[in-house]
Amino acid sequence: MTVTALHPAAHAAPADPMAAVFHAAETTYEPAPPGTPADAPRVFAAINGVMRDAMPVGKDQTNTHQNYKFRGIDDVMSAMAGPMRTHGVFILPSIAAQKQDRDGKITRTLIKMRYRIYGPAGDCLVAEIPGEAFDTADKSMNKAQAAALKYLLFTLFMLPVDGRSIDDGDRDHPQPTEQHRAERQQNRQGRQQRSQQRQQQSGQARRSDRAEPGPWEQQQPQQQAKRRDYLAEAQRADSPDQFAKIRAAAAENGAPTDYLARLDLVAAEKRQAAQPAKQPTGPADDNHRDAPNSDEQAAVEAEQRLRLAASRANLPTLDTDFQMVYGIPVEQATAAQLDMFRQRIEVVASGRDQ
């Protein structure tokens, strides 16, 4: 059953096709589908809950052309998104009528938006709101829709506003006093503090609230601030054994491969820094004193590339496997041996991906 409240003139066909945009708005209520539980909140109760939880929206945006303050649609939607999710209310928009006229460089768009406001039980209210906008490019339709939605939210949910804000006006409107500025700044700071408190209470959001958390997220759901900084610990490690324990702990706690690769780079850089610089023994060595350092530098860079490849291939037994093949530790191998072993790993990993 549908209950409809119409203006008496709504049944008369308007002479102008676009007169419907200015016509008295149609308001319709559609009950919940058959079989809906009786205790499911209806849309009227849900709207009332949203009204209780909605935060005030002050005139924090500035029109620099006409020099006046206004409430932006982004601020209004941000204030309504949380309460609407909490009470299970959502809005489905559609365009009931539209007209566009272009006068020189200016496009005027006139629309009538039809909004279906649904509650948790599946019943809905249907409301129609006009919107009008002008633009010199192709944004007049977007602006008209934004204006209609903004005033639907204000009028339907009686969205509270900053009572000290001055009304919408043009460039001739009197500017706010110093007292108004101070009070608006205090109100803005209060909203920011309340928003920060809500974020701290709810915790930092995961990548997607609709997706199952990954193993890296499951380790510390409410202790994000106390997560171990394995990179900092690796920088402070005094020995290879201590670094190995840090890396193993990161791997056990579900650190991704690119994070483990960064740990391996830290270890390689520490080993390079720990190598003593070789001093020339005489004039005869001047032509060759850079050769050993060049070989060592090449080996260090090759080791870094090898450990990156092993991390990407998820090969935690790199050091053991390398020593089994060549009979020496990774730290003592030449650049050629390290590059050859890296190429083997990359070939195996590419075959596995295919």
pLDDT tens across the length of the chain (354 residues): 444 444 444 445 455 555 655 555 567 899 999 999 989 999 999 999 998 888 888 777 887 777 778 788 888 888 888 999 999 999 999 999 999 898 888 999 999 999 999 999 999 999 999 999 998 888 899 999 999 998 999 888 887 775 444 444 443 444 555 655 666 677 677 777 777 776 676 655 444 444 455 554 454 445 445 678 888 888 888 888 888 888 888 888 877 777 777 787 788 777 777 766 555 555 544 454 545 568 888 888 888 888 888 878 877 788 888 888 888 888 888 888 888 888 888 887 777 665
Query: The tokens of 318 are what?
Result: 């790199």
Closest Cα to residue 341, out of 350, 323, 353, 121? 323
Check if the beta carbon of residue 285 is closer than 8 Å to that of residue 220.
no
Closest Cα to residue 26, out of 43, 40, 50, 10? 10
- Residue 156: alpha-carbon gap to chain centroid: 28
Q: Cα dihedral sign for 98, 104, 172, 182?
A: positive
